[in-house]
Amino acid sequence: MNAQPTYVRPADVEDAISIKASLGPAGIYGCGLTAAQLGWGVKGPEQTIIDIAGLDLGSDVCLADSGSMVLAANAPLERLRLDPLISRQLPWFAEFLRYVGSTATRNQASLGGNLLWGAGDLEVLFAAVDAKLRFAGNGRAQSLGPTVSDQPEDLLISIIVPALQGQRIFVEKLGHRQAFSPSRVVVAGCVGRQSARLAVRLAGHPVATVETPWPMNWPLDDALFAGNAAPYLKSAAHNLLRGHLAQLAQRDMA
Amino acid sequence: MNAVTGLEEKLRGSFRYLAEGQPVGTLHGALLTSPLAHATIRRLDVSAARSLNGVHAVVTAADVPSDFVMGTAILDRPPLARGKVRFQGEPMAAVAAETQEIANAAIALIAFELEPLPIVSAPGDALNEGAAKLHDSGNLCSSFIYSRGKVDADFEECAHVIDHRLTTPRQVPAAMELEGGICIPSPTGIELRAATHSPFYTRSLIASMLGLPERDVRVIGSPIGGSYGGKEEIHIQPVLALLAWTARRPVRLILDRPQSMAFATTRHPFEIALKIGCDRAGRLLALAADVLVDNGAYASFGPEVLDTGMECIQSAYAFRSVKLRGRLAYTNNGVGGAFRGFGALQTLTAIELAVDILARKAGHDPLTFRRINLAGANDPGPLGQAIIPQPELPKVADALSSLPAWRDETPSQRYLSGTGYALVRKGEGFAGGGPNGASGVLALTLDGQVMFQSSLVEMGQGLETTVRNTLLATFDLDEADIGCATGSTDAGADSGPTSASRGTQIALRLIRAGKMPFLEKLYVGAAEILQVPMDALRLGPGGFYQRMAPQNKPDLSLSDLAASAGEIVTQIGIPGIETMQAGANVHTLFTTCAARARVRIDRWTGQVACTGLDLLPACGPPISPVAFQGQMTGAGAQALGFCLTEHQPYEEGTVMASNFDSYFIPTIADVPDVNVHPVTWLAPDDPVGIRGGGEIGLNAAAPAIANAVASALDAAPTHLPVRPEWVLDALARQGRTP
Ligand SMILES: Cc1cc2nc3c(=O)[nH]c(=O)nc-3n(C[C@H](O)[C@H](O)[C@H](O)COP(=O)(O)OP(=O)(O)OC[C@H]3O[C@@H](n4cnc5c(N)ncnc54)[C@H](O)[C@@H]3O)c2cc1C
């Protein structure tokens, strides 16, 4: 039987930050806890969970005047998937969410948790579109990258997806079956008129991102394909990226 | 009537497994299982656990009679490890306590010392001289040898010969319901509520372990929340019974998923090497097969699985000569056991792949090649035994050839597609020696219901629906007039195991055999009460009607008949349909099925998706079409898992997938619509009636999927499940990668 975790429910963002400060490493932020519980084992969590699921971090989805989209870090993924504004502005995101967990998982799982967990599929997509994470306190907005999940001290408030006029987005996940699977490979790209930003994660490795001119110089940058990953994962990732980019290039030519 | 029994409860989530609904005061059970795959137990000290407050029983092998071992053909498995552990997850001790927390704490207090032994992790290694022995008898658990004709000479005569090797996965039953149950002791006996395919067999085993007369052990084994063979084996019942009998309190013991993934019996991985050849006209001449099976640590149903696999390795074809060798080796990789398809799945997949390779080599299309090589209707069985004639074989082949063409797929640079076929047969019921006969009861109960009682179990296959439909049709009664009691020892009628696709066939044969004697008793009783001759009466909805004065309600209701005549009971017995053959376990009744599958292969990732599946089971007319379709769709999904996604790997005896986040059963997104085209024709003189649909769909679907992969890639899989890595390599070898 699993031990029951200890929770605290902060009243607001300030309260959450001060609880975290007082608990130090003995406390962690938790939202849907779908990712965090994967590492608990039968003993349950060692830390106190600071439950941020109910905090007011703004509306789930907000379209800023600049055309960028601001998404609340604690918004459950399924709510985002069904959000009409997301469907209109970021249809590739809504579509891709179908491949993240299952409906039941997505009802609990949050966007922030996915981006900070360290192995979330959305990290690849959001790295490709160069989304920024806004943390509480210092107001810093940070790109996704290897250092992000090293900072469990900071409370993620929102995610800003920049305006993407004219950019073509693709994203694909390769799992062990058609749906409801951990990913083996995730690739994503955001292709503009003159440049493309590509992101890849091979299972067990961090997300790799490159900026490249468009139309592209082949071959693809080796740095995208983690050096010690299984050859199959590298080949599949390579084929996926090449395939999607070739389709876009063909469309450009047409 | 078409509704599936229990459907509403299942949809509403109110359906209860046997391990739920325990009486107040039930103790909680927990198991200590071995962390090592092979070790000598040097010390097992339960004294601290026993003295923990709230603990009512702690049992180990010392509490089991020393000569008590389990198995079917070979008895080699103690319910709790005795002196040695042979697989990771093997139970060593069990506790019953007031709460689950106390039970777990007691388990943690058990002090044990295991001295590691060398691990036998591959069946080939197991049979090498000098390999560590799992059992004193050595690592060869069982073997099979059969030959017919002059194989070497026939290979010489062949115009075309091919070799093919296939290794198959260790598939996990992955039933929703975990192994477990509740045991309630009384001063003189016990009531055991735990899923089993065979309540009477479980009863005799538990009674002998506890030293009780069988009549003092009541077993309720149904309904089952999915088994696929996994609960055909005795699972945790002996440990549960021992705890309850020792504690003298009701106990509930249920495994968790990781425990089940290590403990539950799995499908045996086969390594199959085949050589087949045909003449210039495409007629199959010779088959040589060598099969090595990873049995895991205990015999369980391994010997029967090997025998069935070897019996089916010729599929539905007439080879002039065959030379077959099969070996079953003990390893420390869990325990292999009964699993839907029962060895035939593995060998049928291999032979059907080989048949396609040979057909292509000989320049024939796979359907014609199959058609010209079909066994004759009155041919002896695959091992030369007398069998029930199979005039349906050509009809199934014709139906397969007449399937409407697939709709064209949009051509794509990314995807390749391929279509595969299979035509297979497998023995139904048990081989000669059985248990093949069965008993059952037809009774008019005191509340006026015509009740069919048997110990056959409902495991989601639709047995109860089929029985109810048959009772309605046989006796021309209303829904409210009929009943069906299954899955326990209560009826006193041992119907034998609900296994080997025999459940439905047996139930229907029992009802058919009991119909006339039972009706006679009813008519005699009714005629006596109404004071009219028997032939003036007709049984219909609600009771008996006088033929000459028809009314809209019965002249004698069934409940009035029961009130006057008392309970009317007909005991039914049917003999087994079986052939005894010296030196081989052979089946007499074979069921046939064909399949067509389409796959789509992703040239970028190597992933294979099954996009279409047709199944053509020749089981006669389905009695409950919904249940039959369910069986076939489930079979398609399980075949897809076998071919494309499922495998439980072991590394040095360690279970690598302990939950469904690393063991991948197909989800609904992977399974295409399964189109079932039943071949309903039965020969007018067929002595059996409908055949069971439990396994045969799976046995045809898997080779069809494997053949579809082979046809798309121009390379036959040598390893299942098909790995995307292998697909990309195969494409690269042919210069077909993007
Ligand atoms: C059955 C199952 C299937 C899954 N399938 C997938 C899948 O297909 N793809 C996928 O990507 N993931 C999958 N996951 C993992 C997980 O569900 C998702 O990544 C999810 O989005 C995590 O969100 P959460 O709210 O549950 O995170 P939590 O578990 O609550 O948190 C994850 C981590 O992020 C930190 N954190 C969370 N929110 C914040 C915040 N606002 N500020 C600071 N730190 C924060 C936590 O401290 C923790 O370290 C699956 C999980 C399960 C159980």
Residue B566 lies in a domain: yes
Cis geometry, peptide bond prior to residue B238 (ω within 30 degrees of 0)? no
Would you call B669 an interface residue with chain A, using a CB distance cutoff of 8 Å?
A: yes
Distance CA B451, CA B224 (A): 21
The CATH number for B662's domain is 3.30.365.10
- In A, which residues are within 8 Å of B100 by CB distance? 1
Residue B334 has pLDDT above 80, yes or no: yes
- In this prediction the ipTM stands at 0.95
Q: Which residues pair with A86 in a beta bridge?
A: none
User: Exposed e or buried b for every residue in A148-169, given b needs 16+ CB within 10 A?
Assistant: bbeeeebbbbbbbbbebeebbb
3-state secondary structure chain A: CCCCCCEECCCCHHHHHHHHHHHHHHEEEECCCCCHHHHCCCCCCCCEEEECCCCCCCCCEEECCCCCEEEECCCEHHHHHHCHHHHHHCHHHHHHHCCCCCHHHHHHCEHHHHHHHCCCCHHHHHHHCCCEEEECCCCCEEECCCCHHHCCCCCEEEEEECCCCCCEEEEEEEECCCCCCCEEEEEEEEECCCEEEEEEEECCCCCEEEEEECCCCCCCCHHHCCCCCCHHHHHHHHHHHHHHHHHHHHHHHC
Q: Find the mean pLDDT for residues B140-164.
A: 98
- Are residues B195 and B49 located together in one domain of the fold? yes
Nearest to B158 by CA among B283, B328, B311: B283
pLDDT of residue B4: 65
How do strand A27-30 and strand A48-51 relate by DSSP bridges?
A: parallel
Distance CA B61, CA B82 (A): 5
- Are residues B587 and B501 located together in one domain of the fold? no
- Are residues B595 and B660 located together in one domain of the fold? yes
Cα separation values, B166 from A212, B163, B276, B290, B722, Å: 45, 10, 14, 11, 11
- In A, which residues are within 8 Å of B721 by CB distance? none
- Are residues B533 and B631 located together in one domain of the fold? no
Residue B453 lies in a domain: yes
The DSSP H or E segment spanning B537 is strand B537-540
What is the value of pTM for the model shown? 0.95
Radius of gyration over every alpha carbon of chain A, rounded to an integer in angstroms: 19
Q: Which amino acid is at B502?
A: R
Q: Find the mean pLDDT for residues B377-383.
A: 97
Residue B145 lies in a domain: no
Distance CA B618, CA A61 (A): 56
- Are residues B661 and B539 located together in one domain of the fold? no
Q: Find the mean pLDDT for residues B136-163.
A: 98
Structural domain of B104: 7-117+179-254
Question: Which of B508, B539, B574 delimits the end of a domain?
Answer: B574
Distance CA B318, CA B621 (A): 27
- Are residues B519 and B619 located together in one domain of the fold? no
Q: Of B603, B664, B737, which is closest to A177 when you measure between CB atoms?
A: B664
Beta-carbon count within 10 A of B673 CB:
11
Number of domains forming the structure of chain B: 3
Q: Which residues pair with B273 in a beta bridge?
A: B165, B290
Residue of B nearest to A98 (CA): B669
Helix (H, G, I), strand (E, B) or coil at B693: coil
Q: What's the DSSP call for residue B8?
A: H
Question: Which of B520, B539, B574 delimits the end of a domain?
Answer: B574
Residue B208 lies in a domain: yes
- Are residues B326 and B401 located together in one domain of the fold? yes
Q: Are B726 and B717 in contact (CB under 8 A)?
A: yes
Give tens-digit pLDDT for B658-695.
999 999 999 999 999 999 999 999 999 999 888 989 89
- Are residues B459 and B411 located together in one domain of the fold? no
Cα separation values, A25 from A73, A154, B468, B611, B697, Å: 21, 12, 63, 50, 56
Q: Are B215 and B191 in contact (CB under 8 A)?
A: no
Q: How far is the CA of B597 from the centre of ligand 1 (A)?
A: 38
In sequence order, what are the residues at sequence separation of 6 or more whose Cβ sits closer than 8 angstroms to the Cβ of residue B694?
A: B340, B461, B501, B503, B504, B631
Residue B171 lies in a domain: no
- Are residues B192 and B278 located together in one domain of the fold? no
User: Exposed e or buried b for every residue in B213-227, given b needs 16+ CB within 10 A?
Assistant: ebeebbbbbbbbbbb
Q: Work out the pLDDT band at B435, boundaries 50, 70, 90.
A: confident
Give tens-digit pLDDT for B29-68.
999 999 999 999 999 999 999 999 999 999 999 999 999 9
Helix (DSSP H) and strand (DSSP E) numbers for chain B:
18, 30
Show the tokens assigned to A147: 């250092």
Mean pLDDT of chain B: 95
Residue B500 has pLDDT above 80, yes or no: no
Residue B122 lies in a domain: no
Q: Are B276 and B287 in contact (CB under 8 A)?
A: yes
C-alpha triplet B39, B40, B44: angle, nearest 5°: 115
- Are residues B424 and B442 located together in one domain of the fold? no
Residue B738 lies in a domain: no
- Are residues B308 and B350 located together in one domain of the fold? yes
Q: How far is CA A151 from the centre of its chain?
A: 15
pLDDT tens sequence for chain A (254 residues): 445 789 999 999 999 999 999 999 999 999 999 999 988 877 788 899 999 999 999 999 999 999 999 999 999 999 999 999 999 999 999 999 999 999 999 999 999 999 999 999 999 999 999 999 999 976 678 888 766 555 567 899 999 999 998 999 999 999 999 999 999 999 999 999 999 999 999 999 999 999 999 988 778 888 889 889 999 999 999 999 999 999 999 988 88
pLDDT of residue B1: 43
The CATH number for B189's domain is 3.90.1170.50
- Are residues B414 and B463 located together in one domain of the fold? no
Residue B356 lies in a domain: yes
Would you call A174 an interface residue with chain B, using a CB distance cutoff of 8 Å?
A: yes
Right CATH number for A7-161 from 3.40.50.450, 3.30.1380.10, 1.10.3720.10, 3.30.465.10? 3.30.465.10
Residues touching ligand 1 (Cβ under 6 Å) are A 28-36, 52, 73-74, 77, 100-101, 105, 108-110, 112-114, 116-117, 120-121, 152, 155-156
- In A, which residues are within 8 Å of B661 by CB distance? 38, 182
Would you call A235 an interface residue with chain B, using a CB distance cutoff of 8 Å?
A: yes
| Least confident window among B123-127, B177-181, B283-287, B404-408 | B404-408
Q: Of B662, B666, B724, which is closest to A232 when you measure between CB atoms?
A: B724
Question: Which of B574, B604, B630 delimits the end of a domain?
Answer: B574
pLDDT of residue B279: 98
Cα separation values, B224 from A111, A152, B177, B196, B490, Å: 39, 46, 7, 8, 17
